Structure 1
Amino acid sequence: MSDIVRHIFVRGRVQGVGYRAWIEGEASARNLEGWVRNRKDGSVEAVFAGPLDTVEAMIAKCHYGPSTARVDAIDDKIDGRDALHARHPGERFSVLSTI
């Protein structure tokens, strides 16, 4: 399957519960490229790039997250590889600062 880039916004109780670290671990275990960050509105934003089936499986897991989280909704869209430019130089998957 070909690679795809998906951009998601996760709403619910997803800050202060280890959600970003959980995403980083899950994405790295799946060898995905991308990044994750908290947003000031209380949501978490992430970009995942990799094989279609792997990215879709990652997003499916994001609907649950770590046991301390409560996910109310996920909005996602297909994006381009330019969405990966936010990563820290030299990193495959980055945890970015809150915006």
Structure 2
Amino acid sequence: MSFISVFSHDPPLLILGIQTRASGNSKDTVANIRRSGEFVVHMVDIAIAKKMIFTGINLPSDVDEIQASGLTSVSSVKVAPPRIQVSPCAMECRVL
């Protein structure tokens, strides 16, 4: 299970809670954030909920979960990781 919580809006801060895999290993999300220091958090509406749940499946690290789910990624504005085109809200983040 993973979750986010908005901590502050001025300055904008959010907190991530990302559990390890059942094996105790870190999820790809954690490895990617540690490597780049950047990430995008998406809000989900009912229209894309099933596809977003699919992105959380434990797939091999070389599989693009966004593409495999049938969603489309586009360039973000402020960070290098892409965002999901149809997400109603994409929060582009940097680790502080």
Q: Could you state the TM-score of these two structures normalised by the residue count of structure 2?
A: 0.31
Q: Could you state the TM-score of these two structures normalised by the residue count of structure 1?
A: 0.30
Query: Which structure is higher in RCO with an 8 Å CA cutoff and minimum separation 6?
Result: 1
